[in-house]
């Protein structure tokens, strides 16, 4: 495979996401139904694309507990309970959470002191159950908006179509 990661910094967001989504559609076609391979590939493409501080997944490993999964960036927290921090809120409420300024978000978990804004998107499996959340942390305030939320929701739609969560049932 001759594909290399794209750097989409500097492009308008719509174009940036279109390029990354097209590359991911091609790459994810090659991972079968392997959710860890998909998480690793999505983390890599999005992280290298935008160069934010941290891009990766927290997996649901117990009914109300997230554990770190594939990611790129500095060391992340290992476990996060539902309801704690931005990831725990997105997991508990099963909705995308965009935080423009983490210093104004009560309970934000600062894994990296440089983090200023964050987006967390719930990842649903084929049966509609929550299997993970996708978290991105940025060094600038207000790095994420609705356009990022919709693009990331489309990307994690792979899991709803394909995820092996059904095999665990
Ligand atoms: N900031 C996150 C925790 C995870 S990491 O930063 C990688 C949160 O508040 O949920």
pLDDT digit string (tens) for the chain, length 169 residues: 558 999 999 999 999 999 999 999 999 999 999 999 999 999 999 999 999 999 999 999 999 999 999 999 999 999 999 999 999 999 999 999 999 999 999 888 988 899 999 999 999 999 899 999 999 999 999 999 999 999 999 999 999 999 765 444 3
Output the CA 110–ligand 1 centroid distance in Å.
6
For ligand 1, what atom is nearest to the CA of residue 54? 7
Considering only CA atoms, which of 66, 89, 90, 93 is closest in space to residue 77? 66
Residues with CB under 6 A from ligand 1: 54, 76-77, 80, 85-87, 108-109, 111, 115, 118, 135, 137
The answer to pTM > 0.75 is yes
Nearest CA, atom 2, ligand 1: 109
Burial class (CB in 10 A: 0-12, 13-18, 19+), 16: buried
Q: Is 153 helix (H, G, I), strand (E, B) or coil?
A: helix
Nearest CA, atom 3, ligand 1: 109
**Mutation to probe ligand 1, out of 43, 76, 82, 139 (largest number of atoms < 8 A from CB):** 76
CA distance 158 to 22: 13
Distance, C-alpha 45 to centroid of its chain: 11
Domains observed in the chain: 13-162 (3.30.450.40)
């Amino acid at each position: 495979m001759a594909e290399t990661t794209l750097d989409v910094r500097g492009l308008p967001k719509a174009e940036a996401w279109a390029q990354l989504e097209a590359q991911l559609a091609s790459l994810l076609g090659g991972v079968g139904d392997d959710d860890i391979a998909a998480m690793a590939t999505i983390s890599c493409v999005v992280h290298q694309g935008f160069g934010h501080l941290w891009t990766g997944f927290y997996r649901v490993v117990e009914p109300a507990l997230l554990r770190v999964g594939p990611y790129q960036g500095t060391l992340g927290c290992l476990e996060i309970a539902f309801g704690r921090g931005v990831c725990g809120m997105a997991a508990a409420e099963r909705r995308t959470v965009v935080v423009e300024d983490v210093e104004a978000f009560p309970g934000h978990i600062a894994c990296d002191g440089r983090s200023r804004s964050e987006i967390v998107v719930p990842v649903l499996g084929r049966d509609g159950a929550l299997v993970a959340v996708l978290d991105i942390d940025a060094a600038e305030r207000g790095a994420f908006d609705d356009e990022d939320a919709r693009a990331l929701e489309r990307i994690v739609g792979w899991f709803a179509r394909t995820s092996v969560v059904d095999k665990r049932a």
